[in-house]
Chain A
Amino acid sequence: MYDIINSDERVLNSMGRDLGLTYDEMLMLKDYFKGMGRNPSDIEIQAIAQAWSEHSCYKSSKVYLKKYFLDLKSDYTILTMEDDAAVVSFNDDYAYVVKMESHNHPSAIEPYGGAATGVGGIIRDVLCMGAQPVALVDSLYFGNPDSNSGFLSERFILNNVVAGIRDYGNRMGIPTVSGSAEFDDRYNGMPLVNAGCIGIVRKDKVVRSRVTKLDDLLIVCGGRTGRDGIHGVNFASKILDENDENNRKAVQLGNPIIEEPLIHAVLEANDLNLIDGMKDLGGGGLSSAVSEMLYAGNVSAVIDLNKVLLKDNKMDPWEIWVSESQERMFLAVDKSNLDKIEGIFKKWGIEYSVIGKTVKADNLIINYNNKRIMDMDLKFLVSGPLYSRNFKKPEANMKKVEYKKIDNYKDFILKFIGTPNLCSRFNIVRQYDFTVRGNTVLKPFTGNVNMETHSDSTVIKPVENSYAGLCITSGSRPKMVDIDPYNGTIETLIEAYKNILCSDGDPHSIIDALNFGNPENPETMYRFIETVHAISDFCKNMGLPLVSGNVSFYNETGNNEIMPTPNILMIGKIDDIRNIITVEFKEENNPVFIVGTLINSLAGSEYAEYLNINYYNISNINYNELLNIKNHIKRSHNFIKAMHDVSSGGLLLTMLEMSFGNKIGINADLKNLDGDTDIKLFSELGTSIVIEVDKKYENEFINNFQDVNIKKIGYTVKENIIIKDNKTEIINEKIINLRNAWEHGLDKYI
């Protein structure tokens, strides 16, 4: 029992540390309970600690999310930023549901379980909108795989995060189709696991994450409630201390064998219109899900905590209320439908219990062993404090740029393309089942068997009676965001946009997962604000909706913060998936063009990282050019044989990856491009895309691109890659030799 109303500053401070609340927040509680004339019960104070944590109430970010992200809707968005996942129109009958969330802190402590439950949780977020989950996405950020400095080696973290995603996704029978993996010392001990899910739902079957009807029954179904995962939310809102024994209570492994039938049961019940409201039990457990679902619907409830099915009968009531046990869903159901729901749950072998019913009141009431243990104003509980934290522009850290001359391009390139950030992703992605459900039209890899290369985005065909498809891409450019948060975020968005264009899609919606360090650090706050400002500007200028998002702060170990990492998941639409253009060169003797602007800077590039040089200049984007490129690619569809954007590794990697898929290489001369040879080869900034054009339509193609930068760089050839810059020969090598160096980069790690 916490004696708040009689405590002084010292005691309140110490209680606050226990609960993850600040002194000011404890004072708010003291005032509130003084007004009530009593102290809070254990369950009340624990419920507040959950609801007021950064993870649940976004107290540091909400002010800025409201300022920048309001009104980024579109005429085809159905639900954005309101419920557990976004709902966006797909065609007249169907909508797609999408969400991405971080599961960073659990994955740092227990990589396998942390990553697996991240996948399980994001699937439930999509399921609770009434949608069938159809695709999974994972963007991963790991420490240097050679580092052993943390209490787990980075290699162990890498292998176990990938295994956790593999085992959960594969066992659920949902394909893991897209994502990204980045390695950097600045993620040592603090990996980022951003899991996304896409679902599909008939528009008339969307379920809200709220309950508005009185006298509805409240049901918890799926897994039982246990001690696992208590205080996960508070723990995601604190800095990790590897010696803190308390962190270890929050570990969960996840059990897909429980969740798989839960999907069938929930969707069957929803198909019969038996569900009035639904929410996934995630961070904060029942405490968060129940209060948020009631508050959103402007009702309250009386809960009997004895009715919750437990794994362990010795739990305290507050533990039952805040437990984050996995594989649970929370449903509101009309009592006349209970029999039918029971029948469905029985058929699928799903455990469930009715824990209470909705009433018209301000206060949420919880009874346990016939005693009232919570009687508290829902609004006070759910609203939580809001902060407008200090922010400060970091001092510009402009060191002199030292130009390093590469003596031997061939040797350099053979090493460079095998580095962890540039090499093939086969070792990771081939552990995932990316074709289960049979809807993956463009896989993560494309090209001939045993000669595959990376796709720009993945394409799925989600609805049986339609040839329309969804393009999916996810990633971030943290090194650029670190240098310039605003323009680096724009570069992240440009890359996602180009990935969709290169897979023949129309960019359709944006989902963010914003991973940052400590928001109490003014420089971190500055980077965060610049990032959301950039996302907002990009959406407005490109006419794209931002449909859902997630913020994760306190990603740091000791004094080391991660790089600011706004991960962008972008969804594109394709009218007809039968005409997709892919990355690999298709035939000999076709002209190859670069369209768009390649910015004259190596800032944030893998080249700069590899040679340990600092570059700072990331210029502003030309939105019109990007829009023009999109329109011209659409018009030129029948002239284009292959497309790939310029991103990590620069134009060099773009040309190589296009050559790796089909034994057709390139003979290129970069003399018509601006800048030094290394900038032409390795700059990763700007709007440029490389396009193989059908030789029959070269003139028509050039005519279509008249108002943007367009340069011919060479033509396709058999089996070789020949690149020069005027008189400098850069490389002249068999494709197979370069591909080998690229293919095996991760072999010694995973």
Chain B
Amino acid sequence: MKIRIEIRYLPNVEDPEALSIKRNLDLTGYKGIENVSSYRVYEFETSLNREDSLKMLNEISEKILTNPVIQEYKIQEISD
């Protein structure tokens, strides 16, 4: 099955990449942008059933892909 994992910074953590993008857009004259956020997205394809896939990918998200101190993640199934 196909699973999408979306990772983003927690609300009180500064997002340096997004800040740089916003700053440069301001400099290049794009007006009216209030805020930018950056996300990281992974797509996984597994040969496991739904329950086992979610269990494993939750663990991977928690242990390897994120640090819960600064990031949160969302897991979604993708239908083909």
Contact = CB atoms under 8 A, between A and B. Distances in A.
Contact of B14 (A112, A153, A228, A349): A228
Contacts of A349: 23, 27
Nearest to A226: B14
A109 interface: yes
Interface string A223-260: 00011100000000000000000001101111111000
B14 A110 contact: no
Contacts of B19: 255, 257
A314 to B, nearest CB: 12
A110 B16 CA distance: 15
A152 interface: yes
Interface residues of B, number: 14
A623 interface: no
Contacts, number: 44
Contact of B13 (A153, A156, A251): A251
Given A252-B14, A255-B16, A257-B20, A156 B70 contact: no
A489 interface: no
Contacts of A160: 67
A111 interface: yes
A113 interface: yes
Interface in B7-46: 12-16, 19-20, 23, 27
A109 B68 CA distance: 10
B48 interface: no
Nearest to B67: A110
Interface residues of A, number: 24
Contact of A109 (B13, B16, B69): B69
A153 B67 contact: no
Given A110-B67, A152-B67, A251-B70, A228 B16 contact: no
A153 B67 CA distance: 10
Interface string A395-412: 000000000000000000
A311 B22 CA distance: 14
A153 B16 contact: no
A253 B12 CA distance: 11
B55 interface: no
B9 to A, nearest CB: 8
Interface string A139-159: 000000000100011001000
- Point out which of B12, B63, B67 has the most chain A C-beta atoms below 10 A from its C-beta: B67
B67 A253 contact: no
A446 to B, nearest CB: 34
B16 A156 contact: no
A110 B12 contact: no
- Point out which of A248, A254, A256, A311 has the most chain B C-beta atoms below 10 A from its C-beta: A248
Nearest to B64: A156
A156 B14 contact: no
Interface of B: 12-16, 19-20, 23, 27, 63-64, 67, 69-70
List 8 tightest A-B contacts by C-beta distance, closest first: A255-B16, A257-B20, A110-B69, A248-B69, A110-B70, A109-B69, A251-B69, A251-B70
8 contacts: A109-B69, A112-B67, A152-B67, A253-B13, A253-B70, A256-B16, A257-B20, A349-B23
